[in-house]
Amino acid sequence: MEQKRLIVLASASPRRRELLEKIGLKIQVDPSEFPEKTRQYLSPEELVKYNSLGKANFVASRHPDAIIIAADTIGVLNNHLIGKPHNAKEAVIMLHSLSGKTHRVVTALTVIDTGSDNLLTRTVETYVHIKKLTSQEIQNYVQSGEPLDKAGAYAIQGMGALIVEKIRGDYYNVVGLPLNALSDCLKELGINLL
């Protein structure tokens, strides 16, 4: 595929950047300074959609003829949002709450073609089951440092793969960017990745 358009990732996430590069896109990174909302009165789906749209629109104003990609991902356990732990103690608590349970990972993806003002948003949901963990396994994983900047206190693409028993849905959604939905959005805008 020959890339004719500037593609801008409205995120500082190294994982999202790596995923886009992995599928052959040459991108420019322009992190959005959009002030994200936390829960308040919105459902998880409404919340990620609001944040994803806000991030994309914030960056779109700086690129008059480009494809803007933005996303927002959260975890949900029993209708409670799962954020990023602020420290090791919070990571331990979070992993104990997920142990032996299934939670949802919800991502809203927004793609804007600023040349034509076309805007597409998709919401993708993946179910992740964490195996039953011992306290020692949780301590060992937290001591690795990996959980400390990850939503849900695990990275499925890293050592966290050892605690994930099964998933139902898009694996890349759990990493932070649902590539299948992105491919469909880009195709609608006339950009075929295959």
**Tokens standing for residue 69:** 């990609």
Helix segments in the chain, DSSP class H:
14-22, 44-60, 88-98, 135-143, 171-175, 179-188
The owner of tokens 């919105």 is: 42
Instruction: State how far the Cα of 112 lies from the Cα of 18, in Å rounded to an integer.
Output: 20
DSSP state of 139: H
User: Are 88 and 148 in contact, with CB atoms under 8 Å apart?
Assistant: yes
Identify the active-site residue in 72, 113, 117, 184: 72
3-class state of residue 82 by DSSP:
strand
3-class state of residue 120 by DSSP:
strand
Instruction: State how far the Cα of 177 lies from the Cα of 96, in Å rounded to an integer.
Output: 26
Known catalytic membership, residue 72: yes
Give catalytic residues, as residue numbers: 72
